[in-house]
Amino acid sequence: MIKIVRSPKPKVLERHEIAWTNVLLDASTEEGKKRAEKKYQHREIKDALLVMFHDKCAYCESKISHIAYEQIEHFRPKSKFPELTFEWTNLLLSCPICNGLAYKGDHFPEETEGGPLINPCEDMPDEHLDFVFDLDARLATVVGKTARGETTKKLLGLNRDDLRAYRTKVIMRFSVLASYAKTDPEAKRLLDEARKDDCEYAAFVRSLPTGDIGG
């Protein structure tokens, strides 16, 4: 997870968020509620989030669109906070797995429950999470540094097996590049590229030490 600077509110929300929210809160049937609710999926909102998050999941930093449909994620779940369904600062981009029922789903732990979760647009993820590549164990692991970091890591499954195995393969390659970065300009250039916001697992690449192989 990396820090993301939120872009300006899309014009469609400027124009409609109050009316859309009122219709949703006034809906008296489940069908009416569902019809009112889905306006958050407006293309303009999704496009703004895709640019803002560089087509990466706000939580696990996986690129999404080449393997799955991106999801507009409500940081505070719309089931518990319907008044925030169209609130721009409550919207993130997520992969279907982090946002799915097995992980975040409708959960939103409060402070007394180890929360709230780390919000990449409001918190500094580095203050709550460490991104550790263990070359010997061959594992790229997210470690919670605070109670909120630990809750976030667990609830979002940031070390789930498939994700960590894939992430480890990516980070293994960049760790080799990092070992040459001080002496090889091309290695340094590629490493600098991989540290940018739009690259997968940038938080991990940024944490790699540069130097000679074997230190």
Judged by the rule CB under 5 A, the positions of this chain that interact with Zn ion are 57, 59-60, 95, 98
> Helix (H) and strand (E) counts for the chain?
8, 4
Shortest Å distance, C-beta 57 to Zn ion: 3
Cβ atoms of 133 and 140 within 8 Å: the answer is: yes
Smallest distance, Å, CB 59 to Zn ion?
Answer: 5
- CA 197 – CA 190 distance, rounded (Å): 14
Q: Nearer Cβ to Zn ion, position 13 or 60? A: 60
d(CA 99, CA 89): 17
Least distance in angstroms from the C-beta of 197 to Zn ion: 16
The least CB distance from residue 95 to Zn ion, in Å, is 3
C-beta of 90 vs 152, nearer to Zn ion: 152
CB of 157 to Zn ion, least distance (A): 9
Peptide bond into 96 cis (omega under 30): no
**Rounded least distance, CB 47 to Zn ion, Å:** 19
Q: Which is nearer to Zn ion, 75 or 180 (by Cβ)?
A: 75
On whether the CB atoms of residues 48 and 92 are closer than 8 A, the answer is no
Distance, in Å, from the CA atom of 210 to the CA atom of 188, rounded to the nearest integer, reads 9
**Smaller CB separation from Zn ion, 17 or 73:** 73
What token pair was written down for 28?
Answer: 């008296």
Question: Tokens in use for 20?
Answer: 């859309």
Residue 120 near residue 158 (C-beta atoms within 8 A): no
The smaller minimum CB distance to Zn ion, of residues 59 and 133, is found at 59
Q: What beta strand segments (E) does 60-175 contain?
A: 71-74, 91-94, 129-134, 139-144
